């Protein structure tokens, strides 16, 4: 078991034969041409039922073997019929009345004594229905039911930050921890795209409908004719799974690739150049989903280079996509690190940037522009308030950008199950006009009625057979797809489902993985950064490991503002950077005062003495100490919990996971001691429990006789034992 099949293993369940009479005996796909999603659905059903139960089904393409509403007599005539509503009603006009209304990509599923009807609003929806049915079967559930399922939003994309070529490193993935790119190698699209096809299958099984295949820090050469041919080959392997391809663009391409003297979005030659690109792409990929653009951010070119607005830039692309039915996702991650490079300018707050740049543009965007907003105003931290920009875009559609790849959250070397965090974010109520206004309702287009909107997840799988570099990290990808389909999903229920499909439905396996995973995000927050201080990861090198000092005075403006007496960033209107004022009044008022700010965001919004008392009654500094001990203690329990599963999990995955959990347990201690030592030294305040600074219980490296090691000066010093 190397992880390659993810949760689609179709592993034989115990007592498989006993279920045969509850299963269909034949599969009928309606109007399915080879390579279409309905055809794929038929193939999956046949493979799946064979794998899970050892029952081989006849596969046909007409209604001849049944009409999907057969008598369900449990005999050998029961049929699984799969297709679009349209195809079904065409051959069964009388059936129309009994069918529910479906949204785009939605499906209807009816199972009655082996007679199965799987209908999609479109072909992709039919495939989703087939995957849903198979996932129940794989969990041993063959009971009768009827289900109508519609997605929460039309945009359910993933982003891959894959480089075609990166300073000599072929096919690397930015912030990817699972190997090289499955799409690119040596500046071109890989000749063998088997993995890309397998990826599409995994994504389709959780309802994802498009993939941006290349890095947001886009290489202009993505658009050479040869590479466009390559992109078309990727789209070809995606298509049988109903997954569309999208491309990230570099704003300066007309100049750097096209040889024009400018890339000003209002210059007609530039517009014509981009129109040519859109036409060429759609000639090769008629069903291309569209573009993703990162502009005027972290050194990337954009419309502001020419004093044009972000709307001017986005609309230029929108205009060229319009005739082809494409959409553009334009990122709100716009900030200029240079202007923030004024150390300790209290007004310079990167959190303010997105609203600052997008305010006043809400009614300026074309209707096929969607703004893609990271969940927090800074950058994928372990705890952030939800970006207030969601409430400033009323007419313009938005997608929320979540990160499945654990950039700041342990880079897949730490188990951190993210669905509980996403749930909090999606359920957050902004109280726009004092009415319920959750993030999910805003991006799905329900709160402010709009056609386009949804979700983008930065996934960054790679060539490693585990996809993400860690078997357990795949629960995050599973939960991402399921939650964006239905944000009311329960993170724990999703985890159990994923575990049953990925490992086993053994109760102990389910309980252990659930216990560890559900504790993992709070534990990670505890041993890394508390009270909204943001993770204290090394900010300049790789975003990994503790380095609290690196947070201050860097040009990216993520300051903790810690000195000898106090800590936190004052983002109030009355005295700070004013960020709290970007929220609707009820929420702004909450964040404006330390008394009403939730403890877990206190230091995000306020600068307070270390001795400030939290709602919990503890001082800030004691909370830091205690939380770091508590969080790392939880991580210490993971290896033993996992070991209790020995024999219940195949050896390959058992060892791989154990290795990571042992590492995490150790690294959590490094985190604990680094952060505690750092703030202990800074504040001079003793730990009430006498732990910090004493290390009495620890075996120091200096006290050991080491052979085969050499001394190395660790930076920062507090992450080391005696600085080495
Ligand atoms: C940061 C990543 C960087 C990305 C950037 C982005 O460190 O690699 O390019 O976000 O999202 O978190 O554009």
pLDDT value, residue 165: 83
For the cut 60, the answer to whether the pLDDT of residue 344 exceeds it is: no
**Residue 298 CA to ligand 1 centre (angstroms):** 8
Q: How many CB atoms lie within 10 A of CB 514?
A: 16
- What is the distance between the alpha carbons of residues 714 and 701, in angstroms, rounded to a whole number? 13
Mean pLDDT of the residues in the chain:
93
Residue 407 annotated in active site: yes
What's the CA gap between 49 and 430, in Å, rounded? 45
Nearest CA residue ID for atom 10, ligand 1: 379
**Together in a domain, 88 and 230:** no
Rounded to 10°, the helix 491-502/474-485 angle is 130
Question: Is there a catalytic annotation at residue 506?
Answer: no
Q: Is the CB of 294 under 6 A from ligand 1?
A: yes
Domain for residue 522, yes or no?
Answer: no
CB atoms within 10 A of CB 132: 18
Asked if 119 and 174 sit in the same domain, the reply is: no
Distance of CA 704 to the CA centre of its chain: 43
Domain count, the chain: 2
Same domain, 138 and 32: yes
* pLDDT tens figures, 512-561: 999 999 999 999 999 999 999 976 888 767 899 998 887 666 655 667 88
Residue 45 has pLDDT above 70, yes or no: yes
pLDDT of residue 67: 44
CATH of the domain at 28: 3.30.379.10
**pLDDT tens digits, one per residue of 372-428:** 999 999 999 999 999 999 999 999 999 999 999 999 999 999 999 999 999 999 999
pLDDT score, position 516: 98
Classify residue 289: in a domain, yes or no. Answer: yes
**Mean pLDDT of the 323-327 span:** 98
DSSP annotation string for 101-156: P--TT-EEEEEETTEEEEEESSHHHHHHHHHHHHHHHHTT----EEEEE--S-SEE
Decide which of 435, 466, 488 is a domain's last residue.
488
Does the beta carbon of 375 lie inside 6 Å of ligand 1?
Answer: no
Let me know if residue 689 belongs to a domain: no
Does residue 47 belong to any structural domain of this protein? Answer: yes
pTM, rounded to two decimals: 0.96
Question: Does a structural domain hold residue 136?
Answer: yes
Nearest CA to ligand 1 atom 13: 216
DSSP 8-state class, residue 470: S
Q: Is residue 504 part of a domain?
A: no
Nearest CA to ligand 1 atom 12: 379
Asked whether 408 lines ligand 1 (CB < 6 A), one says no
Is the model more confident about 606 or about 165? 606
Task: Report the nearest atom of ligand 1 relative to the CA of 374.
Answer: 11
Beta-ladder partners of 248:
292
Band of the pLDDT at 320, cuts 50, 70, 90?
Answer: very high
- If asked whether residues 115 and 167 sit together in one domain, one would say no
Q: Are residues 374 and 248 in the same domain?
A: yes
**Domain-terminating residue out of 99, 127, 149:** 149
Query: Pick the catalytic residue: 105, 407, 570, 673?
Result: 407
User: Are residue 115 and residue 191 in the same domain, yes or no?
Assistant: no
Do 139 and 178 belong together in one domain? Answer: no
Ligand 1 neighbourhood includes 201 CB (under 6 angstroms): no
Are residues 318 and 438 located together in one domain of the fold? Answer: yes
Q: Which of 186, 298, 563, 650 is catalytic?
A: 298
ipTM confidence score: 0.98
Q: Note the pLDDT of residue 682.
A: 92
Q: Residue 693's pLDDT is what?
A: 80
CATH number at residue 242: 3.20.20.80
How many angstroms does the Cα of residue 476 sit away from the middle of ligand 1?
19
Catalytic residue among 123, 312, 379, 538: 379
Q: Is 401 in the pocket of ligand 1 (CB under 6 A)?
A: no
Do residues 128 and 188 both lie within one domain? no
Whether residue 498 is contained in a domain is answered as no
Our answer to whether residue 379 is catalytic in this structure is: yes
Residue 148 reports pLDDT greater than 60:
yes
State whether the beta carbon of 337 lies less than 6 angstroms from ligand 1.
no
Q: Are residues 301 and 177 in the same domain?
A: yes
**217 touches ligand 1 (CB under 6 Å):** yes
Least confident segment among 68-82, 218-232, 451-465, 530-544 = 68-82
Domain with 43, as residue range(s), is 16-149
Q: Same domain for 281 and 354?
A: yes
* One-letter-per-residue 3-state SS of 224-287: CHHHHHHHHHHHHHHHHHCCEEEEEECCCHHHHCCCCCCCCCCCHHHHHHHHHHHHHHHHHCCC
pLDDT of residue 256: 97
60 pLDDT band, cuts 50/70/90, is confident
Say if ligand 1 is within 6 A of residue 150 CB: no
Q: Does residue 164 lie in a domain region? A: yes
Question: Which of 488, 521, 552 is the C-terminal boundary of a domain?
Answer: 488
C-beta 216 within 6 A of ligand 1: yes
Residue 297 Cα: closest atom of ligand 1: 13
Say whether both 128 and 90 belong to one domain.
yes
Choose among 120, 124, 53, 136: nearest CA to 88: 120
When mean pLDDT is compared across 30-34, 164-168, 658-662, the lowest value belongs to 164-168
Gap from CA of 557 to ligand 1 centroid (Å): 15
| Dist. CA 402 → ligand 1 center (Å) | 12
Question: Which long-range contacts link 505-512 to residues 24+ away (Cβ below 8 Å)?
Answer: 505/13, 505/139, 505/140, 506/648, 508/644, 508/645, 508/648, 509/645, 509/648, 509/649, 512/641, 512/642, 512/644, 512/645
């Amino acid at each position: 078991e190397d992880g390659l099949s993810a949760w689609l293993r179709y592993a034989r369940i115990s007592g498989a034969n006993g279920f045969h009479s509850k299963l269909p005996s034949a599969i009928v796909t309606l109007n399915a041409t080879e390579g279409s999603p309905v055809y794929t659905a038929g193939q999956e059903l046949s493979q799946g039922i064979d794998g899970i139960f050892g029952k081989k089904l006849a596969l046909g393409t007409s209604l001849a073997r049944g009409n999907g509403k057969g008598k369900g007599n449990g005999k050998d005539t029961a049929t699984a019929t799969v297709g679009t509503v349209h195809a079904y009603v065409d051959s069964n006009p009388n059936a129309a009345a009994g069918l529910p209304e479906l949204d785009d990509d939605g499906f209807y599923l009816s199972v009655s004594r082996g007679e199965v009807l799987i209908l999609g609003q479109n072909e992709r929806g039919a495939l989703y229905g087939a995957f849903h049915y198979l996932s129940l079967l794989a969990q041993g559930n063959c009971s009768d039911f009827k289900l109508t399922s519609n997605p929460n939003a039309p945009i359910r994309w993933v982003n891959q930050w894959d480089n075609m070529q990166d300073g000599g490193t072929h096919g690397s993935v930015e912030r990817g921890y699972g190997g090289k790119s499955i799409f690119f190698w040596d500046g071109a699209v890989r000749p063998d795209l088997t993995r890309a096809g397998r990826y599409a299958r995994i994504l389709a099984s959780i309802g994802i409908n498009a993939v941006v295949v290349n890095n947001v820090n886009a290489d202009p050469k993505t658009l050479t004719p040869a590479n466009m041919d390559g992109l078309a080959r990727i789209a070809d392997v995606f298509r049988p799974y109903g997954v569309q391809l999208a491309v990230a663009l570099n704003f300066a391409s007309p100049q750097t690739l096209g040889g024009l003297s400018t890339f000003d979005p209002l210059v007609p030659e530039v517009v014509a150049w981009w129109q040519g690109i859109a036409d060429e792409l759609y000639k090769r990929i008629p069903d291309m989903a569209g573009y993703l653009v990162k502009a005027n951010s972290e050194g990337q070119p954009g419309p502001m280079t020419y004093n044009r607005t972000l709307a001017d830039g986005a609309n230029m692309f929108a205009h060229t996509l319009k005739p082809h039915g494409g959409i553009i996702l334009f990122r709100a991650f716009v900030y200029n690190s240079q202007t923030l490079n004024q150390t300790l300018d209290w007004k310079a707050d990167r959190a303010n940037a997105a609203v600052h740049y997008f305010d006043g543009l809400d009614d300026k965007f074309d209707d096929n522009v969607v703004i893609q907003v990271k969940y927090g105003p800074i950058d994928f931290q372990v705890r952030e308030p939800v970006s207030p920009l969601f409430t400033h875009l009323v007419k313009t559609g938005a997608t929320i950008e979540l990160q499945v790849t654990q950039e700041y959250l342990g880079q897949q070397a730490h188990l951190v199950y993210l669905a509980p965090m996403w749930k909090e974010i999606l359920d957050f109520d902004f109280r726009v006009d004092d009415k319920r206004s959750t993030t999910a309702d805003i991006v799905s287009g329900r709160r402010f009625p709009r056609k386009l909107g949804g979700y983008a997840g930065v996934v960054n799988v790679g060539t490693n057979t585990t996809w993400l570099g860690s078997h357990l990290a795949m629960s995050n990808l599973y939960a991402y797809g399921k939650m964006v389909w239905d944000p009311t999903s329960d993170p724990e229920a999703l985890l159990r489902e994923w575990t049953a499909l990925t490992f086993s439905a053994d109760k102990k396996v389910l309980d252990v993985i659930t216990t560890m995973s559900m504790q993992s995000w709070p534990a990670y927050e505890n041993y890394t950064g508390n009270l909204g201080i943001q993770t204290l990861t090394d900010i300049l090198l790789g975003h990994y490991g503790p380095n609290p000092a690196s947070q201050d005075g860097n040009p990216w403006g993520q300051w903790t503002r810690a000195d000898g007496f106090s800590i936190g960033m004052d983002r109030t209107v009355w005295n700070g950077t004013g960020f709290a004022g970007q929220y609707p009044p009820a929420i702004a008022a909450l964040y404006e005062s330390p008394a009403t700010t939730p403890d877990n965001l206190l230091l995000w919004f306020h600068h307070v003495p270390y001795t400030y008392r939290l709602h919990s009654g503890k001082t800030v500094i004691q909370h830091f100490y205690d939380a770091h001990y508590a969080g790392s203690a939880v991580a210490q329990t993971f290896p033993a919990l996992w070991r209790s599963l020995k024999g219940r999990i195949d050896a390959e995955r058992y060892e791989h996971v154990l290795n990571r959990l042992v590492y995490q347990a150790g690294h959590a201690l490094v985190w604990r001691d680094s952060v505690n030592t750092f703030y202990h030294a800074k504040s001079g305040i003793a730990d009430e429990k006498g732990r910090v600074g004493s290390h009495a219980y620890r075996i120091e490296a200096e006290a050991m006789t080491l052979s085969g090691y050499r001394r190395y000066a660790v930076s920062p010093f507090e992450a080391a034992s005696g600085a080495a």
